[in-house]
């Protein structure tokens, strides 16, 4: 551990070689320092790295590389930086379903509506570990219901309610849903973005429309039309800085991406994997696309957008379509849940991007 400088007496008395009280500056070789004399050392110099401490709860703000033993959970943990983006399993939805609406963040998500063997009004809330029941929607709805906002301030609109698409809008306060202003026309499979009081809906099933509508917390108004009409696309961002990507225009899936400035749409870089019935999170310049259907198969493909082009990320574990995402999540932290494989599924997966500090648990093999 090197050498340590201390003040000592400069006179040694006899017998016994004992220092007297006069100060002396000297250097003591590390080999002369007994381990037993270091019992009161509580912190190691940063130049030597972190010590391993025993604590009853995880440190509130550990540094990168710091390691500790949690005596409550009896596990050894450390703070690391992710080298690449990756998906990890989260807690399953209580009700397996596809075509549901999504809102919230990775640790505070919301799923509402969808299809099991029938259309449902179920709402579930996620805390980063498990799902619990929330207040039911007033209207059962499925088939890529529009959703955006946060867990305690969410917006759900459109969707399908046999025998066809609906225009109903509902607002969630963390406990219950109340009616909002209806969409100008009934539809499902839209790109969505924004918040409960400043939302965006673009495209949809009603003739593969280019229609864009903006919500102000009370009613929907007209926005600039998409350049490419399509349905079953996904969105990200805000009402004035949105992203719309993927979708279906007969007879094929598309990778078309468009960017919205609050007035008009302009072309962006195409997805590497053309698909529809996918989900999205993030912002216009840092978006994330995941899952969907290519026209021949479900996909687990995940792509990140930098404002110009898409790059491939680590794929999800479960390939699926008509899934939901945590709409208020970011490119480096979001969740995917529900959807269809060949049947409705309850799977939740959590995405953590590259360069993110996370706490890891040391496990044996």
Share of the chain above pLDDT 70, in %: 82
| Structural domain boundaries enclosing 59 | 52-81
Least confident of 74-78, 132-136, 282-286: 74-78
Asked if 28 and 91 sit in the same domain, the reply is: no
Same domain, 70 and 98: no
Task: Please tell me the predicted confidence (pLDDT) of residue 24.
Answer: 46
315-347 pLDDT tens trace: 999 999 999 999 999 999 999 999 999 999 999
What single string gives the DSSP state of each residue in 168-223? Answer: -EEEE-SS-EEE-PPPSS---S-EEEEETTEEEEE--TTTT---EEEE-SS-EEE-
Same domain, 32 and 68: no
What pLDDT was estimated at residue 206? Answer: 77
Q: Are residues 2 and 151 both part of a single domain?
A: no
Tell me, yes or no, whether 184 lies in a domain. yes
If asked whether residues 151 and 5 sit together in one domain, one would say no
Radius of gyration of the chain (CA): 28
* pLDDT at 83 (0 to 100): 60
Establish if 189 belongs to a structural domain: yes
User: Is the domain of 127 the same as that of 159?
Assistant: yes
Whether residue 362 is contained in a domain is answered as no
Does residue 360 sit within a domain? no
pTM: 0.79
Q: Are residues 123 and 145 in the same domain?
A: yes
What pLDDT, on a 0 to 100 scale, did the predictor assign at position 212?
98
pLDDT reported for residue 57: 85
- The pLDDT confidence band at residue 278, using thresholds 50, 70 and 90, is very high
Of all helices (H) and strands (E), which one includes residue 132? Answer: strand 131-133
Q: How many structural domains is the chain composed of?
A: 3
- The single residue listed with the structure tokens 């509902």 is 170
Which pLDDT does position 27 carry in this prediction? Answer: 59
Residues 2 and 73 in one domain: no
| DSSP one-letter code for 135 | P
CB 290 within 8 A of CB 279: yes
Q: Is the predicted pLDDT of residue 45 greater than 90, yes or no? A: no
**CATH number for position 334:** 2.120.10.80
Q: Do 164 and 305 sit in the same domain of this protein?
A: yes
Q: Are residues 150 and 210 in the same domain?
A: yes
């Amino acid at each position: 551990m090197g050498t340590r400088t201390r003040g000592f007496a400069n006179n040694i008395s006899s017998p016994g070689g004992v220092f007297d009280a006069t100060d002396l500056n000297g250097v003591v070789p590390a080999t002369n320092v007994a381990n037993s004399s270091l019992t009161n050392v509580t912190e190691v110099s940063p130049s030597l790295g972190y010590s391993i401490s025993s604590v009853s709860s995880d440190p509130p703000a550990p540094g990168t590389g710091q390691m500790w033993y949690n005596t409550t959970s009896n596990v050894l943990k450390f703070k690391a930086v992710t080298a690449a983006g990756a998906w990890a399993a989260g807690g399953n939805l209580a009700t397996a379903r596809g075509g549901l609406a999504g809102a919230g963040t990775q640790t505070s998500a919301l799923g509402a509506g969808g299809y099991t063997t029938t259309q449902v009004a179920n709402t579930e809330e996620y805390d980063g570990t498990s799902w619990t029941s929330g207040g039911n929607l007033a209207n059962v709805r499925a088939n890529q219901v529009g959703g955006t906002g946060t867990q305690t301030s969410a917006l759900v609109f459109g969707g399908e309610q046999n025998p066809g698409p609906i225009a109903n809008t509902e607002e969630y306060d963390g406990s219950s849903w109340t009616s909002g202003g209806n969409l100008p026309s009934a539809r499902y499979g839209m790109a969505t973005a924004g918040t409960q009081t400043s939302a965006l809906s673009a495209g949809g099933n009603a003739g593969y429309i280019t229609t864009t509508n903006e919500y102000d917390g009370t009613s929907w108004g007209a926005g600039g039309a998409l350049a490419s009409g399509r349905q079953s696309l996904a969105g990200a961002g805000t009402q004035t800085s949105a992203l719309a990507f993927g979708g279906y225009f007969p007879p094929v899936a598309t990778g078309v991406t468009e960017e919205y400035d609050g007035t008009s749409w302009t072309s962006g870089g195409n997805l590497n994997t053309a698909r529809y019935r996918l989900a999205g999170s993030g912002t216009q310049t840092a978006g994330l696309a995941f899952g969907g259907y290519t026209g021949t198969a479900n996909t687990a493909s995940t792509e990140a957008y930098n404002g110009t082009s898409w790059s491939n990320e680590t794929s999800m574990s479960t390939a699926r379509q008509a899934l939901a995402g945590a709409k208020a999540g970011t490119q480096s932290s979001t969740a995917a849940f529900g959807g269809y494989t060949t049947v409705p599924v309850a799977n939740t997966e959590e995405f953590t991007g590259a360069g993110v500090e996370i706490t890891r648990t040391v496990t044996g093999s």
